[in-house]
Structure 1
Amino acid sequence: MKKVKHNKKTRKSYFIKILTLLVVFGTIIVYGNFTIGTTRYKITSNRLPVTFKEYKIAQISDLHNSEFGQGNSKIINILKKENPNIIVITGDLVDSSNTDIDIAIKFIQQAAKIAPCYYVTGNHEAWIGDLYDELEEQLLDADVTVLHDEMITLSNGKDSIQLVGLDDPDFTDRATYVQESILDAKLHNIGLEEGFKLLLSHRPEAYEVYVTHDIDLVLSGHAHGGQFRIPFIGGVIAPNQGFFPKYDAGEYNEGNTTMVVSRGIGNSIIPIRINNRPEVIIVQLYSQ
């Protein structure tokens, strides 16, 4: 009888432990999918004009029609609190499988009241066909600057830097093996000048192309943080990079080029994230 009682206690103990683990894991999953954080980067360059010291850039990437609070109020509140000099949107503002332009535009209209907004397309904009024209028209109506393979000047005081924006290569060709060449040709054709260059490009996998063109800072997205993140290893899978992607999230440095890859905010094909909280990125610039 004592042995039976002991076995019941052991089974009960195991059950409680497993239930506790499931509750903890479930809480982590819910927290990591329905809350949004802020990730900060300090970028230093000897080519940055002194007047741009502490210039603050907020990056929004891969919204995919997600909503965090009514009208994306949670994201808007973060942006208001940070009060950036500019807000950049690095593609996939909408999702091609469930396109809702109203969600995107309501968010943009509020963001544009906080700071000047600059936008480049992602692959999902390329996939929505004629709906993209409607999206861009409304972006322009909201005073968003849409960059199509072009460079403009950002001024701060008496100095300026170059802001470059690339359209997603899926607008040209969806074959993966030609897309780095497409982006390379785009940068050649823009005619970059001497001085600090900030590039907005949805595709982090083309990092070597950006290094070749001596870009100072690249802000990118697309990888969704690798979707599922393993501690000390990184992301598990990312579009156009496959399993254990090289450029999944965070900061990368080679030569004069720094790339910051956003984990993004929304999801697309895979509807859940693990250990991969959605984020708003805040970059502050410093001159050496």
Structure 2
Amino acid sequence: MNRRTFLKKSIGSLLALVGLSGGTYYYAREIEPTMLDINQQILSSSKIPKSFNNFKIVQFSDTHIGYHYSLEQFAELVTTINAQNPDIIVFTGDLVDKPHMYNWNNELIKTLRKLKANHGKYWVYGNHDHGGYGTDIVKDVMDKAEFHLLKNSYTSIPINNEKIALAGIDDVMLGRPDLEKTLTNADPNVFTMLLAHEPDFADTTVHFPVDIQLSGHSHGGQVRFPFIGHLYTPMYAEKYVQGKHTLQNEKLTLYVNRGLGTTRLPYRFLCKPEIHTFTLKS
């Protein structure tokens, strides 16, 4: 850690201790984690066919159910997502916080199944999904909830003899991601979106025929301060923390979702949870 980073983290930690010791503590623990941003984005490209004009994709990520994020909260989220009238729903990982400690039951499956999208529901593994011996359990739940796993795989979404493509890789931290294998049969002329839990993987993605990468993992830092920004983000979310990023003269556009739940510490400060709603424009 260099001197500048050390000072930033030290000052930020001090501010966190002081600021969260009063009324801000209550806000960061009880209020902001329940405040949802619906982040509306337009995706325009000459590669998007006319049949997909106004096609809508909703992304949600990092629910971490079981750690200060309840099934009741998730049920409310499902209502909000369905109200966006999505054509596709994508989940970019970390369903529950600790799979080996979570009380798995059919209620979660029933709630996930209530999510509706005309052209399918897709997901990729996050590090918490693989962690705690959760790999097979989470897949079984998502299968029963009618979500399609994209694990180093690629699929086409057709409308009127035209198509776009959706790809996904295994988790970078605890899985075995293989983007080359994923895109073996990809057509560079087809508008292609990649689901990758860790946002910093974009530095690899940019060398492949992918137009958009959707990620989560960072939680936006969870706790942010003016002039300082986030205090901490996990590995592979250190370079791209939140929002929109363009790489190599707009060859690739990355969107980093701040997620919905919390992990490690049950706080959010100046970093509200969010979902993304992407509308395609040909």
> Please, which of 140, 143, 160 is the counterpart of residue 143 of structure 2?
140
Shift of 1:167: 1.1
- Secondary structure of 2:173's counterpart equals helix
Per the alignment, residue 96 of structure 1 pairs with 98
Q: Is the 8 A contact 2:130 2:174 kept in 1?
A: yes
1:249 and 2:242 matched: yes
> Please, which of 163, 168, 172 is the counterpart of residue 165 of structure 1?
168
Change (3 A) 1:113 1:219: closer
Return the letter of the residue paired with 2:138: L
Shift of 1:277: 0.8
Change (3 A) 1:231 1:50: farther
1:228 and 2:223 matched: yes
Greater Rg by CA: 1
1:105 and 2:109 matched: yes
- Which runs of 5 or more residues in structure 2 are unaligned? 1-20
Distance 2:178 2:269 in 1: 31
1:120-146 CA-partner distances (Å, limit 9, x unpaired):
1001111132x4313212321222111
Distance 1:170 1:25 in 2: 31
How many residues in Structure 1 have an aligned counterpart in Structure 2?
256
Larger proportion of helix: 1
1:60-84 CA-partner distances (Å, limit 9, x unpaired):
1001115467262321121121111
Per the alignment, residue 82 of structure 1 pairs with 84
Distance 1:100 1:132 in 2: 15
Q: How does 1:1-288 map to 2 (within 5 A)?
A: 22-23=22-23, 26-27=26-27, 30-65=30-65, 67=69, 70=72, 72-96=74-98, 98-102=101-105, 104-112=108-116, 116-129=120-133, 131-172=134-175, 182-187=177-182, 190-194=184-188, 195-231=190-226, 234-241=229-236, 245-254=238-247, 255-287=250-282
Distance 1:29 1:115 in 2: 37
Distance 1:264 1:41 in 2: 16
Q: Is the 8 A contact 1:57 1:284 kept in 2?
A: yes
1:266-286 CA-partner distances (Å, limit 9, x unpaired):
111122111111111111111
Shift of 1:233: 5.4
Return the letter of the residue paired with 2:264: I
1:220-244 CA-partner distances (Å, limit 9, x unpaired):
00001012123465433211057xx
Change (3 A) 1:241 1:163: closer
Distance 1:100 1:200 in 2: 27
TM-score when scaled to structure 2? 0.81
Distance 1:279 1:140 in 2: 25
Per the alignment, residue 8 of structure 2 pairs with none
Shift of 1:31: 2.5
Identity %: 28
Q: Is the 8 A contact 1:228 1:276 kept in 2?
A: yes
- Secondary structure of 2:206's counterpart equals helix
Shift of 1:39: 1.1
- Which runs of 5 or more residues in structure 1 are unaligned? 1-20, 174-181
Return the letter of the residue paired with 1:148: K
Q: Is the 8 A contact 2:78 2:112 kept in 1?
A: no
Per the alignment, residue 14 of structure 2 pairs with none
Return the letter of the residue paired with 1:95: D
Distance 1:84 1:115 in 2: 9
Choose 50-59 or 69-78, whichever is displaced more. 69-78
Shift of 1:186: 4.4
TM-score when scaled to structure 1? 0.79
Q: Is the 8 A contact 1:65 1:100 kept in 2?
A: no
RMSD across aligned positions (CA): 2.6
